[in-house]
C-alpha cells in the first residue's frame, strides 16, 4: 500500500500509568538559567528519584529539583546537596 503510514507506538505509551509513578528529577548537562529548559527523567518512588539524582550528580550533571507526582518541588538544589553530600556538583 503506497502512501499508507502507520504510526509507531512504544509499549510505554500503551501501558496505563500506575499510581506513584510521577516522580521527576529535573537535571541538565550544564546549569540552565531558565527552569523550563531542564531535562526530566521519571522515577517510581522518592527513593528511586534520589538514586537517579545521585547518579546524575556523579556524572557531573546539574540536578535542579525533585518533584512529587502532584508536581510540587520536594527537594531543590540546596536540599539535594545537603541530602546527598559530596556527590553534588557545584
In this predicted model, what pLDDT tens digit does every residue of 14-33 receive, in sequence order?
444 454 458 999 998 887 66
Residue 72 has which C-alpha cell? 510540587
Residue 65 contacts residue 75 (beta carbons within 8 Å): yes
Q: Could you tell me the residue ranges of all domains in the chain?
A: 19-75
pLDDT in tens, 40-77: 999 999 999 999 999 999 999 989 999 999 999 999 99
pTM of this prediction?
0.69
Q: Does position 80 have pLDDT exceeding 90, yes or no? A: yes
- What is the predicted pLDDT for the residue at 58? 92
- The reported pLDDT for the residue numbered 30 is 80
User: Average pLDDT of 1-10?
Assistant: 55
pLDDT score recorded for residue 76:
93
Q: 19, 22, 90, 87: which is closest to 53 by C-alpha? A: 87
Amino acid at each position: 500500500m503506497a502512501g499508507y503510514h502507520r504510526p509507531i507506538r512504544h509499549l510505554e505509551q500503551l501501558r496505563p500509568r500506575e499510581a506513584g509513578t510521577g516522580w521527576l528529577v529535573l537535571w541538565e548537562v550544564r546549569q540552565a538559567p531558565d527552569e523550563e529548559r531542564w531535562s526530566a527523567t521519571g522515577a517510581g518512588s522518592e527513593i528511586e528519584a534520589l538514586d537517579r539524582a545521585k547518579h546524575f550528580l556523579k556524572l557531573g550533571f546539574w540536578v535542579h529539583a525533585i518533584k512529587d507526582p502532584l508536581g510540587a518541588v520536594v527537594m531543590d538544589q540546596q536540599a539535594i546537596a545537603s541530602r546527598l553530600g559530596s556527590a553534588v556538583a557545584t
